[in-house]
Structure 1
């Protein structure tokens, strides 16, 4: 697929997907949603880590309300099912770790696509906003799933009801994201984290993601069994052998991602 609303660059095992409608604050239209879903899937096959970020002053401002002539006649259930859910499933099911590098405003569905990543790193001047209630809607694109699991029930409820901006610093303090970084250090910070993931033990990273997610709904016994199975698989990998050898030889590991 040739992309018109995003850019996808893959170098040295690292894929960088950039939302590329800066004149619209990277608002999501039908074409863009299809391209994002395709690019996330393609990255999972061609790279060992993926970064999602935005061009210009916004990460993503959410749904492009001018995408259709009469917004009141849009079938929102169909739009979510056929256009947003493929993005979220592609991210959740991706075999590689995903970082959201939030460079600016992340509002509505844009905020929730950011939160669907494994790790969220935000520029200090960025913000998150569950803007849905301002137009008579509920948080979607996974917002009601991710927010209570990250920053807790009380903060999630307030964010949804009041639809106020949450600064990157607040998001960091509340546990909504992994890291808030000074604007001048932002690009170097996310690239350093992404490079680490792209050069790391890919199987172990995949099993870590699966185990942490499963823990939210598992009993202790189920989680212990999952850990044992996953550790057994990791223990048979080339990267485990390399990790042990590098430790014994006092050198940096050279992981192959298998």
Structure 2
């Protein structure tokens, strides 16, 4: 039996495909899963055979966010999870090759952050995006406090972060949060088409384009990582976080007290 974290790493010609592979848990992430995905992206930086990276999820979800059900976060609020998430987001932005997020279903919490860190974010029409952190007494992380306002502005970013509302894929496209929405039955074919187009494209030009776009719109990303880490680390010790996790596991509405 494999002891590798459930992340599939597949090389298909010039494409590196990274798949979060816990479909029964809607691809809820462990630290080890995020680390494995980040290691694969880092290796692809210097792999001349990789010309495009595709990030997706198995089954009916892209990613349900961090695994709150399978880990005692109250007893072990490991900042290593935040560090791993920040590392993966940073690599997706910095790798000098195009990154395509194939959002096959809900992209929630830090899963939403990873989807939005891609250069092109392509979603099934039935998918949605959700910064669910406030529902468990936490703040957005994985770089989303920089990624989201850069795409949709401060007001809509605050709406997503504070109200934890679902943003359906068509609305996300209308807001400018993502690049493409595809009918569900055409999704796989469109991902294949875009992957081939990017793999056959001018990789050096893509690298310089990514660099320029990041300089223009995401200059504060590293600062956001630091602020998120500090804030999230403080929130791990609050009663509201303990209540949020307990309510999540009991499938009830949390009663927050600001403590």
Q: TM-score range by the shorter chain?
A: 0.7 to 0.9
3-state DSSP of counterpart to 1:60: coil
Is 1:79 the counterpart of 2:75? The answer is: no
1:12 Cα shift?
2.0
Kept in 1: contact 2:31–2:80 (CA 8 A): no
Which residue number in structure 1 is paired with residue 95 of structure 2? 94
Post-superposition Cα deviations, 1:173-218, rounded to whole Å, max 9, x if no partner, equal: 0000001110011111121111111111100000011111112378
The residue that corresponds to 2:135 in the other structure is: 134
- Cα root mean square deviation, aligned: 1.7
Where does 1:218-257 land on structure 2 (aligned, <5 Å)? none
**Cα distance in structure 1, aligned partners of 2:174 and 2:142:** 23
Aligned counterparts, 1:20-31, within 5 A: 20-31=21-32
1:66 aligns with 2:69: yes
Which residue does the alignment assign to 1:170?
A: 171
Unaligned regions of 5+ residues in structure 2, if any?
A: 220-259
Partner of 1:152: 153
2:9 matched to which residue of 1? 8
User: How far did residue 20 of structure 1 move?
Assistant: 0.6
Give matches, 1:115-130, under 5 Å: 115-130=116-131
CA distance in structure 2 between the partners assigned to 1:105 and 1:62 by the alignment: 10
Shift of 1:43: 2.9
Query: Distance in 1 between the 2:209 and 2:86 partners?
Result: 23
Tell me the distance in 2 between the aligned counterparts of 1:157 and 1:75.
25
Aligned pairs, number? 216
Structure 1, unmatched stretches of 5+, are: 219-258
Deviates more, 1:140-149 or 1:30-39: 30-39
Q: What TM-score do you get using the length of structure 1 for normalisation?
A: 0.79
Partner of 1:19: 20
